[in-house]
Amino acid sequence: MENAPTNTPAPHFRYYDLVMAAFVTILLLSNLIGASKPSYVILPVIGEWSFGAGVLFFPVSYIIGDILTEVYGYARARRVIWTGFAALLFMAFMAWVVVQLPPAEGWPGQEAYEFVFGNSWRIVLASMVAFWAGEFANSYVLAKMKVWTQGRHLWMRTIGSTVIGQGLDSLIFYPLAFWGLAGWPVELLWQVVLSQWAIKTLWEALLTPVTYAAVGALKRAEGVELFDTDTDFSPFASSKR
C-alpha cells in the first residue's frame, strides 16, 4: 500500500510516460475525428439506431485511464487527466486559428476545413466539460473501489467506474453541444446519449481481458501495487498522494 513516509523518494516508473502519451493521443484523435458525426446501425426489432461515431475509439482512453489509476494511483492519473485537458484546449485553439486564417487564392478546401474543424464554442466547451467530469469520476470511483475490494475483482472496478464516468461524459457532452441545433431533434439526441453510454460500457466489458493483461504486465514491470488509502482526491490537488 502507498503508506510510506512523506520523505521517501517517489518511485521511478518506466512506462508511465508512455501510457500518458497513449492516453492523450487517443483522446485527441477521437475528439478530432469522430465526436460530431452521428452514424447508425440496423438492430433486430428496433430498426435504425443512431450513435456517435467517436464511440468506436474514445472508450479506449477510458480503458487507459482505468489502467493508469489501477497501476499508478489516482494522483498520477489526475496528472494525466489535466495533461489531456490542456491538450484538448490547445487543439481547440489551434483549430480555431487555422480555420480563421484566410485561404490562399484558388485553394478549394476552406469550406471543407470549416465544416470539419470549425466546431462551435458549444462543442468545444461541451467536450472539455464532459471529459473533465467523466474522467475524474471514473478515476475516483475506480480508486475507491480498489480500496473497498482490497484489490480484488478488477473487472468490477473497471466496469463500475465506466458506468459512472462514461455516463457523465455522454450525459454532459451531447445535450450541451447539440441541444436545439438543426439536425439534432430531441429524440435523436437522447438516443445518441443512451447509445454512447451503453456502447462505451459494453466496450469496457468486452476488453476486460485486454485490461487484465495490460494491468498485470505493467504491475510486474513497475513492481508496484498501489492503494489510494491516504490520497487527496481533489481534482485540483498538486500532491502525488
CATH number, domain containing residue 111 = 1.10.1760
**Residue % of the chain over a pLDDT of 90:** 44
- Distance of CA 58 to CAs 7, 48, 103, 225, Å? 38, 22, 32, 27
Nearest to 166 by CA among 38, 30, 2: 30
- Does residue 129 lie in a domain region? yes
Among 75, 41, 80, residue whose Cα is nearest residue 240: 75
Name the residue with higher pLDDT: 43 or 22: 22
Rounded to 5 degrees, φ, ψ at 52 are -80, 130
Axis crossing angle, helix 110-117 with helix 74-100, rounded to the nearest 10: 150
Say what the pTM is: 0.84
User: Binning pLDDT at 50, 70 and 90, where does residue 9 land?
Assistant: low
Q: What is the pLDDT of residue 241?
A: 62
Residue 8 lies in a domain: no
Are 218 and 67 within 8 A, CB to CB? Answer: yes
pLDDT for res 4: 45
> Does residue 229 sit within a domain?
no
Total domains present in the chain = 1
Tell me the pLDDT tens digit for each residue of 98-110: 889 999 998 998 8
Residue 5 lies in a domain: no
Cα angle 83-77-207, degrees, rounded to a multiple of 5: 105
> Of 2, 222, 36, 217, whose CA–CA distance to 120 is shortest?
36
**pLDDT given for residue 18 in this prediction:** 94
**Percent of the chain clearing pLDDT 70 (strictly above):** 91
- Domain region containing 202: 16-222
Q: Is pLDDT at 207 greater than 70 in this prediction?
A: yes
Name every residue whose Cβ is closer than 8 Å to that of residue 37 and which is 6 or more positions away in sequence. 52, 53, 54
> Does residue 177 sit within a domain?
yes
Q: What residues pair up with 43 in beta bridges, in sequence order?
A: 47
Q: Does residue 87 lie in a domain region? A: yes
Q: How confident is the model at residue 34 (pLDDT cuts 50, 70, 90)?
A: low
Position 239 pLDDT exceeds 70: no
| pLDDT value for 124 | 82
The answer to whether residue 192 is domain-embedded is yes
CA-to-CA separations, 79 to 17, 100, 124, 159, in angstroms, rounded? 11, 32, 21, 22
**Of 50-64, 76-90, 203-217, the least confident:** 50-64
Give the pLDDT mean for 33-53.
75
pLDDT of residue 6: 46
Higher pLDDT, 142 or 55: 142
